[in-house]
Structure 1
Amino acid sequence: MTNYCPCQNPDYDRSAIVSSVTSEWNLICEKKYLASLAQSMLQVGILAGSLTYGYISDRYGRKISTLIAMFSNALFIAISALVTEFWIFMIFRFLIGTAVGGTMLCGYILIIELSGKSFRPYLIGLYEISFIVGYTILPVIAYFIRDWRKLQLITSVPWLLVIIYYWLIPESPRWLITLGRKKEAVDILIYIAKRNHRSTENIELMVDEIEKESMRETQKHGTYLDLFKTPKIRIYTVITALVWMFCSHTFYGINQYIGRLEGNIYLNVLLSAVCLAPGLFVVVLTTLFLDRKVAVLCTFSVAGIALLIFIFVPTYMEWLTLTFAIIGQIGAYTSFVQIYLFTSEVFPTVVRNSAMGFSSMFGRFGGFIAPFVVNIGVEWGSILVFSTVAFSAAVLCYFLPETKDTILLNSIEQTETSKVRRPSRESIIAT
């Protein structure tokens, strides 16, 4: 009734949420920081998972790392719903994060390497449909299941069935070729060609040529150290790491903030999810018709400008504050989607997952800090921070190479010697 601290026997408003982590363990007053820490532990886990699964993927394969990450994700979420101590819950938040990091990273790289350059613009849109659908359904489920433990179980246990993907998805032929496992790569490519009613005559010859180019390097397994051994790769690594950190900080910060806005929490989250759907079309169109750098710079700028305007909107105009918060979220979200694609195109196959993992690690630093920035107590200060880092990310992207319509490179040597020239219109049509 008073909402003042200290509060020995708190009585929570259960009209919107019957049971939450906050009410379960009284994360208020002197324990309030633990609520932010619980959110940030997920980001710490994603950081660790990005590094761990990035290495596993480059060392043992895209397929096995993706499967382990997806199954572990569902398993750890289900177990977290059963724990009785907050510190155990925190451990599982971390473990959930590791699986989330692996799922986002390895799954994305797998489908990128299974697709040709002409399909990449559509691929990122199709890939994100699953995120939008899940994001949209979640507040609907939460509206009817208002106990946090039941919500965790209902949104995790069914997905343990992802184990059947072992028999449904192939390994990345590109990864197999870089390891000299030519026969396996040829078999997969022939299977894919037949399913697409394409000729299989020259597949083995093309794989031979790619293998010769890839095997010019003695290092068959990429490591994180390889990201810093050569000049171009080193510069790209530093820039993409900072861009990911700024992008993640903005995106997760706005997400946290939308959940704290006035009004119905379920409706706010649902609207923020639904409003991301147009972002998919924006991503596909910008990827098709704009250079990578121009597209990313524009979307980051949209996020930064929307957040600057947000500062000057009166707090009593709830619909307008929510509108600009969502516009900022769309800008940050579309930037995030494009950064995934941009980064995967900048780095060669042998270190692609390691590069994505390293960049994602810095992204988690940004995500880790975001809840604390939201909670600093000065609204305009929080928003100004998110806007500033969005503009900073846009500037940094200018210094990355343009990769639109380029063929994915396989080796570090290719990347260091390439001048990133896009093929002519005639060669694209011929290909």
Structure 2
Amino acid sequence: MSEDAIEKVIGRFGRYQTFVLILLMVGRLPTEFELSNVVFLLPNTDYTCLDDGVQNATNYCPCESPDFDTSTILSSVTSEFGLVCKRKTLSSLAQSMLQVGIAVGSLFYGHISDRYGRKRAVVLALFCSSIFATLSTFSTKLWMFILFRFLSGTAVGGTMLCCFVMIIELSGKSFRPYGMGLIESAYVIAYFFLPIIAYYAREWRDLQKITSMPWLVVFVYYWLIPESPRWLITVGKKKEAVDVLTRIAKRNNRLTENIEIIVDQIEEQSLSKDQEHRSGSYLDLFRTPRIRVYSIITPFVWAICAFTFFGINQYIGRLGGNMYLNVALSAISLAPSPGLTVIASLYLRRKVTVITCFSITALSLLLFLIIPKSMEGVILAFALLGQIGAFSAFVLIYLYTTEIFPTVIRNSAMGMCSVFGRIGGIAAPFVVNIGIEWVSILIISVLAFSAAISCWFLPETKNIILMNSIEQTENASNQNDRDCKK
């Protein structure tokens, strides 16, 4: 399979795919804001205790009547619901519920996408991401905010997963690295503009409305974006696949005469004759030997990706100074990552690139143990380098996973992996807050190295055609093994 038949029909990435990419990047912005806004919604805010007999002590516990500092943030979830002292654990709960929601949403939307189509899953996730964030601004009780935080997380998980797969499946094999970098640049853009918006919208309800309510119009995407032709072919919807490919080809000024013949060839080469296996499920991730191995390794690697990225963010978040400036500087440090991952994907093998990113992260953190504490600038530089490595690994593992698994179970695999990624993200703060810095750093570094080693057991996927069926993936793996023995 040296030639991508879909790319032959619609091009590697023409004007129509560019149009879809822009729509998805814009539609994803509420999701990216939700991933980053916790520092402004649930900050650690200083307060003066006004309880009788306390004499206006600062940050005193226990305290029933805290008077919060409003010099930086006028109103936050922390100040409105008094999340200090014993209630501070509720702040942690509100933060973690987003990650729990992302795990649930990844499974739910992964199943919806593989069973009912990419387009339906994408539009539903984008719309729910906006509406749940908007509804959270009407919370009058903390439990209401926590509930909407969880629901927002489910939509965030679906958006991250389904938008990425949609772009990859609309791309030719030679454009996949570019699509990966471009779609993930939406996170960096939102991360950079968030502190600017928050600087002027210093009440948490206003911030949430500004970063979510305008995007409620994304429901019109249902009539603007196509269904994935690869998914349509996989589930046996030949006529719909021909119609979609014809429409895209016309928009890209390409020939349309032989599209039906090409679709017939793809269907004959890649699809199971057994109708039962034309739609995948999570059980299919463990039915066959090769995919079973991939389904064990990739979730572990995803968990370490999230663990290292959010763990390093914990350290950077402890920096002193202006919080708006610190968030902006962190975003700027990530700006080169999408471009670097594209370059690496073009000129290096997938395994080498992912392993290199994990190794850079691990080595950068280990250097923390030997750099004198007085060299704050050097420590910050290595922290940012480790963050770049972890973020790049995160971006690359999305692409790598979509290439490893076939179309019929691709979103199910991504959903399962994303769940493990959320587990890593939830675990990171607990390790960082152990209280002994060198222990925390050593744990993160060792796990980053273990993820790098695990990647050696995954197949190389650079320049391959996206597989459609489980049988095709198993046969391709066996062929690779025979080639390696020669």
TM-score (norm 2): 0.83
Residue number among 109, 125, 139 corresponding to 2:165 in the alignment: 109
Aligned pair 1:372/2:411, yes or no? no
CA 375–84 in structure 1, closer or farther in 2 if over 3 Å, else same: farther
AA at the equivalent of 2:183: Y
The residue that corresponds to 1:232 in the other structure is 290
Taking the aligned partners of 1:87 and 1:313, their CA distance within structure 2 comes to 44
The residue that corresponds to 2:230 in the other structure is 174
Residues 376-403 of structure 1: CA deviation (Å, up to 9, x unaligned)? 3333333333222222211111110000
Residues 145-178 of structure 1: CA deviation (Å, up to 9, x unaligned)? 1211111111100111211211211000011011
Is the Cα–Cα contact under 8 Å of residues 290 and 477 in structure 2 kept in the other structure?
Answer: no
The residue that corresponds to 1:426 in the other structure is none
Is the Cα–Cα contact under 8 Å of residues 100 and 150 in structure 2 kept in the other structure?
Answer: yes
- 1:26-37 mapped onto 2 (5 Å cutoff): 26-37=82-93
Taking the aligned partners of 2:478 and 2:321, their CA distance within structure 1 comes to 50
Is the Cα–Cα contact under 8 Å of residues 25 and 86 in structure 1 kept in the other structure?
Answer: yes
- Structure 2 gap segments, 5+ residues each: 1-56, 481-486
AA at the equivalent of 2:427: I
Residue number among 134, 137, 143 corresponding to 1:78 in the alignment: 134
Taking the aligned partners of 1:217 and 1:109, their CA distance within structure 2 comes to 25
Q: Which moved more, 1:362-371 or 1:291-300?
A: 362-371
AA at the equivalent of 1:222: G
Residue number among 402, 422, 426 corresponding to 1:344 in the alignment: 402
The residue that corresponds to 1:245 in the other structure is 303
Residue number among 445, 468, 475 corresponding to 1:387 in the alignment: 445
TM-score (norm 1): 0.94
Aligned pair 1:361/2:422, yes or no? no
AA at the equivalent of 2:205: R
Aligned pair 1:97/2:153, yes or no? yes
AA at the equivalent of 2:391: Y
The residue that corresponds to 2:102 in the other structure is 46
How big is the shift at 1:287? 0.1
Taking the aligned partners of 2:371 and 2:217, their CA distance within structure 1 comes to 46
Taking the aligned partners of 2:466 and 2:62, their CA distance within structure 1 comes to 59
CA 372–26 in structure 1, closer or farther in 2 if over 3 Å, else same: farther
CA 108–265 in structure 1, closer or farther in 2 if over 3 Å, else same: same
Taking the aligned partners of 1:386 and 1:36, their CA distance within structure 2 comes to 21
Taking the aligned partners of 1:257 and 1:370, their CA distance within structure 2 comes to 11
Aligned pair 1:127/2:160, yes or no? no
The residue that corresponds to 1:60 in the other structure is 116
Taking the aligned partners of 2:438 and 2:274, their CA distance within structure 1 comes to 52
Residue number among 152, 159, 162 corresponding to 2:215 in the alignment: 159
The residue that corresponds to 1:257 in the other structure is 315
Where 2:278 maps in the other structure, the secondary structure is coil
How big is the shift at 1:421? 7.0
Is the Cα–Cα contact under 8 Å of residues 105 and 357 in structure 1 kept in the other structure?
Answer: yes
Taking the aligned partners of 1:243 and 1:103, their CA distance within structure 2 comes to 21
The residue that corresponds to 2:16 in the other structure is none
CA 272–10 in structure 1, closer or farther in 2 if over 3 Å, else same: same
- Structure 1 gap segments, 5+ residues each: 423-431
How big is the shift at 1:202? 2.3
Q: Which moved more, 1:387-396 or 1:317-326?
A: 317-326
The residue that corresponds to 1:192 in the other structure is 248
Aligned pair 1:148/2:214, yes or no? no
Taking the aligned partners of 1:255 and 1:12, their CA distance within structure 2 comes to 25
AA at the equivalent of 1:233: I
Taking the aligned partners of 2:478 and 2:156, their CA distance within structure 1 comes to 33
Residue number among 273, 278, 297 corresponding to 1:216 in the alignment: 273
AA at the equivalent of 1:223: S
AA at the equivalent of 1:140: I
How big is the shift at 1:144? 1.6
Taking the aligned partners of 2:71 and 2:478, their CA distance within structure 1 comes to 58
Residues 219-248 of structure 1: CA deviation (Å, up to 9, x unaligned)? 121000000111011110010010011101
The residue that corresponds to 1:405 in the other structure is 463
CA 264–383 in structure 1, closer or farther in 2 if over 3 Å, else same: farther
